[in-house]
Chains A and B, each alone.
Chain A
Amino acid sequence: MDDILPCDEMIDHAGHIRAPWRPVLDVMMSLGTAELGARKAALDRQARFNAPFGAIAPGRYDPLPVPLTEFEFAGLEASVRQRATLLGALVEDIYDRQTLLDDGTVSPDLVFPNPGFLRSLRNGSPLASPRLGLYGVDVIRLPEGGFQIVADHTGAVPGLGHALAIRRFAAGVLPELFRGVTLMSQRPAVDSWQDYLHGLAGYRPVAVLASPPGTVAGGDPVDCALLARAIGAMLLEPGDLAVRGGLVQLKTLGGLVPVPVLIRRLTGQHIDPLEMGGKPGGGISGLLGALRAHRLIMLNAPGSAIVEAPGFAALLPHLARQILGQELMLGYGPADGRESRVPLAGIDRRANGLDHAPLTMRLFAWHDGHGWQVLPGGLGFARLPDGGMLMKDIWVMEASEPRQITGARAAEPPPRSNSLAAIGLPSRVADNLFWLGRAVERLEWAARLMMLALPRLTSGTSLPREAAELGLLGRCLAHAKLIPRELGGKFSSGRLLRSALARRRRLGSLAAEVARLLTASSERLSPSMLATVESSLETTRAAIALDEETAVPSVLGFAACFAGIAAENMSRGGGWLFLEMGRRLERAENASESLAILLDGPEERLQPGLGLGIALADSVLSYELSYAGVIAPAPVLDMLIADASNPRGLYFQCAALYDVLQRLDAVDDALEAKRLMEEARSMGARLPLPGQDSLPLRLTVLADRLRGLSDQIERRFFTLLPVAHQMDEDEQASLDMPKVLAAWESKRA
């Protein structure tokens, strides 16, 4: 294929193809541009289905690797080690004895005005673990040969998650590439780091601390999540953690669990609102105290990003001689457009039809207690003309004959078991799933009401039965906030209700709430589940945006899809229990409240309400089959309220709640659910006798009790998440001056 042009990364300065590129080039030639483009699209899909949050935007990965020889890597590895050692020593000195400042090696201009210099973490002693424990470095290959460093990452090191995941994604879409090559495995390095981290944590949880997805400072949530997965760590947000008893603790359903090791993926500038100010939710109050007291290890410690400033890089040659007695192995400077070009898989649309782009390589290193280990590989960034980046895997080819097949396969052995299973569900996740369950059910309920109402709002006859139905529907719609409350009276016209329904656009806002909670809960849904549910929700939201009335079947389709996924794809453990609770509570509340409306009337005029009740519970067919369609109060009430086998009946919801609460060991709440079951059963058994409370009243009371149960559940499981606030700093230093001055003057006189 002569449409593949040679470029610097692939061709050496003598015009020869670099050895590691041969197998890659062979595959490129045999596949051709079009097929490579298709493989690239396949990689997008692969990544989307495998990545957490399902949120990898298309076109971020390129399946063609950047192969390096073992020899090239060995040189880079030594340089990265040397640099990490020097930067680590520099950070320690700046935050401890400041000898390099005192002797003039480091200019005060580099440290004191730098907002990254966090004085709160300088208290005259080292922390429990080196401040720099994880390091990333950006390298380019120079036209004249050799490499040059263009940037250091010593704070929150971005990209490691992608670097540890991309090979697995790519192996699935370009298997040809992996057949003829032997790559240096990343597994031993990652395993030993993982062992080290879990050892540091005393086999308590290790967590990646990231900003909540969607926040401005959030960085790349997918990268954080991939990293957490790769090393068996939890993915947490500041709001999940609190300092109690001097320790940083995770708020779980089962109580507080210490988290002794955090990998920091958010800026250190506002990480402790107590000492640094800012919103309490944006950080963890007391965290710096825990770090200073050696009760927490953080990679990297806040403030370590200070040495990313280029001014420090200029000192490294001197420091290498002074500290290590060595020459600095790799120079540092801006890229100035001298990056090597690297071939892209297919012609990228965003690259203006180019098939190659300038390349920066990011290498990663971590301290494992003995020394710096460099990941054999890394992440290549091909820069597109629009400023976007394509990420590429960096390969280190083993020159020697393969001792074993080490090319990464999709079936690479899974990371060893981690401690996730032993830990309770974070309260935040349970909270989100609970409300997701409620939101989906609320959306479905609104759609069911609309489906029931819409045909009846258009008929326009004056039959008394239809007028009665209209009145009841108006009240139900108003109660569900689908129309304004004042239209829920008895005498609104169908046309009026219909236009009010169209104006309110309630389905749109309910679906938006579902989407928000889905995103918030995404870490607990598998990528395929998430992709399925999201795509169904997308279709539905598009339909809703077009026309709420015609979107109703689509909404019901989404609800069925969601319910099916929850029933068939989720394990019945922690997360599902909360989703289930939310759904059952919402459905039970909706059912009891609308039945209270539909059954509000003397017995002889209950017919229309009973009919609507059956339709709303989707039980028309069952009823016809069981009772030949003759609507009579007793069998209808039995089916809608007391029937244990009707998944839309009241008893069924209460029984489901009882099961879940029992499994969560919430004894009092389970007991209340049991009482609600009994109440539902007794309500369905017969119509109340004269002098007893009417059915609507009992249903209203039941709905109230369900809300009470919901509050109780929230208090029991989620109250570890109250919002803290800053006390005003209102002790302004001031003196009552007139008096003081008078006194001074009298003294002087």
Chain B
Amino acid sequence: MKYRLTHRTLYHYAHHVGIGLHFMHLLPRARPGQLVHAATLVILPKPADRVDEQDHFGNRTSLIAQMSAHKSLDVVLHAEIEVSLPRAPEPEASMAWEETSKAAFRAPEAAEFRYPSALASPDEAIALYAAQHFPPGQPIMVGLLSLMAGIHADMAYRPGVTAVSTTAIEALKTRAGVCQDYAHLMIACLRALDLPARYVSGYLRTYPPPGETARRGADQSHAWIGAWLGPHDGWVDFDPTNNLVVHDEHVTLAWGRDFGDVSPLRGVILGGGRHSLTVEVDLQPINEEESRDAAYVSGDSGI
């Protein structure tokens, strides 16, 4: 599936910002099954300095410096991306989860993701919660589907009850939150079993509710998880918020141990006072675009 993606992040400051330094994870990465045909980041005001790099996880980062006074910061990503992640293995045919755990220790691409991280580390409650889905000898894919369904059923989707700094442990206690919390919880569950799991940030294709027209900019950032199924099957992504295995309706931006590794936009600024933030995301399949174009209405979506 081929998509055209626009992601706009707009800060308005009450007072002038004299100097602003920003560190961003806003350019989508390539991965097996995801081709990035084009991706540009347009930043206004134009930064005095901009360095694009790759981080430890292979994500694309941008470090920018704004040196003249400004009252807004406008960062817009335009990208064309083609996604078709490999199909997940047949559940019953996947490796036993204990074997996966053992193999992960020596697998360079997976070993790092077995360890707890600041936002996604297990405690006893999480370990107990996870264990029910992974009886001894359980094929890992079966366990993962069961765990994902469990989290989807047990958590209530409720924006506003958690924050970006909410941990998996807190999410399990609250049993409510947003996609980030679903993801952290599922990652922590897998890590409790010494299974590698990573946090994936990106976008999800959405459909207008029945009877409504699509609104441009109404899509939003999303987060899900990647789990490692062994040297043969590699990484497969799961979206616990929607209880589905990721295939071609999720566009990957970046991944890391948890949200902290892929925070889209961090900044240290001088001045500015209070600020307001507007985020608009628009993800459209390219071949469908013409037919829907006529129906677009512009819309803001704060969070």
Contacts and interface: CB of A to CB of B under 8 A. Distances in A.
Interface of A: 98, 101-102, 104, 108, 112-113, 119-120, 122-124, 243-246, 273-275, 277, 280, 285-286, 289, 292-293, 722-727, 729-744, 746-747
Nearest to A747: B207
Nearest to A736: B220
B270 interface: yes
A744 B242 CA distance: 9
B125 interface: no
Given A98-B108, A733-B179, A735-B206, 9 more contacts: A124-B54, A724-B19, A731-B265, A734-B159, A734-B221, A736-B159, A737-B178, A742-B210, A743-B207
Contact of B266 (A123, A727, A732, A738): A727
Nearest to B104: A108
A724 B163 contact: no
Contacts of A277: 260, 266
Given A273-B268, A727-B269, A737-B241, A289 B206 contact: no
A723 B268 CA distance: 10
Interface string B12-43: 00000011011100000000000000000000
A119 B261 contact: yes
B56 interface: yes
A112 B223 CA distance: 23
B115 A113 contact: yes
B226 interface: no
Contacts of A286: 21, 63, 65, 268
Contact of B164 (A123, A285, A732, A735): A732
8 contacts: A119-B56, A122-B56, A245-B67, A289-B51, A724-B270, A733-B180, A734-B179, A737-B157
A740 B209 CA distance: 7
A286 B22 CA distance: 9
A120 B114 CA distance: 19
Given A275-B266, A722-B18, A733 B111 contact: no
A550 B176 CA distance: 66
Contacts of A727: 11, 22, 265-269, 275
Interface string B205-247: 0111110000000101111000000000000000001100000
B23 A274 contact: yes
Given A113-B116, A289-B63, A722 B111 contact: no
A244 B67 contact: yes
A727 B265 CA distance: 9
B49 interface: yes
Contacts of B289: none
Contacts of A741: 157, 242
A726 B266 CA distance: 8
B209 A731 contact: no
A277 B267 CA distance: 9
B105 interface: yes
Interface string B267-282: 1111110010101000
Contacts of B165: 729
Nearest to A98: B108
Contacts of B19: 724
A733 B255 CA distance: 13
Given A274-B266, A274-B267, A725-B269, A733 B201 contact: yes
B106 A735 contact: no
B206 A123 contact: no
Contact of A730 (B55, B57, B67, B277): B277
Given A101-B108, A274-B267, A731 B242 contact: no
B268 A734 contact: no
A737 B303 CA distance: 12
Given A275-B266, A744-B242, A112 B112 contact: yes
B269 A733 contact: no
Contacts of A739: 206, 209
A274 to B, nearest CB: 5
A238 B242 CA distance: 46
Contact of A732 (B54, B55, B178): B178
Nearest to A749: B210
Contacts of A289: 23, 51, 63
B48 interface: yes
A722 B271 contact: yes
B221 A119 contact: no
Contacts of A746: 207, 209-210
A722 B108 CA distance: 44
A739 B223 CA distance: 17
Interface in B59-92: 63, 65, 67
B204 interface: yes
B209 A742 contact: yes
Contacts of A733: 178-180, 201, 220-223, 259
Contacts of B207: 743-744, 746-747
B105 A245 contact: no
A733 B252 CA distance: 13
A737 B51 CA distance: 36
B268 A274 contact: yes
A108 B105 CA distance: 7
Contacts of B260: 277
B138 interface: no
A580 B242 CA distance: 69
Nearest to A735: B220
| Interface-centre pick from A245, A724, A726 (highest chain B CB count, 10 A) | A724
A678 B108 CA distance: 78
Contacts of B22: 274, 727
Contacts of B209: 739, 742-743, 746
B120 to A, nearest CB: 13
Contacts of B277: 730-731
B179 to A, nearest CB: 6
A729 B275 CA distance: 12
A180 B268 CA distance: 60
B143 interface: no
A244 B268 CA distance: 13
Contact of B303 (A246, A734, A747): A734
A724 B260 CA distance: 21
B99 interface: no
Contacts of B49: 245-246
B146 interface: no
Contacts of A725: 268-269, 272
A245 B23 contact: no
A740 B204 contact: yes
A112 B19 CA distance: 35
B264 interface: yes
Contacts of B179: 733-735
Given A113-B116, A243-B21, A286-B65, A734 B180 contact: yes
A151 to B, nearest CB: 25
Listed from nearest, the 10 A-B pairs whose CB atoms lie closest are: A727-B267, A734-B178, A743-B207, A108-B111, A119-B56, A737-B157, A285-B268, A733-B221, A733-B223, A113-B115
A731 B221 contact: yes
A301 B114 CA distance: 27
Nearest to B48: A245
Contacts of B210: 742-743, 746
B9 interface: yes
B17 to A, nearest CB: 9
Contacts of B204: 735, 740
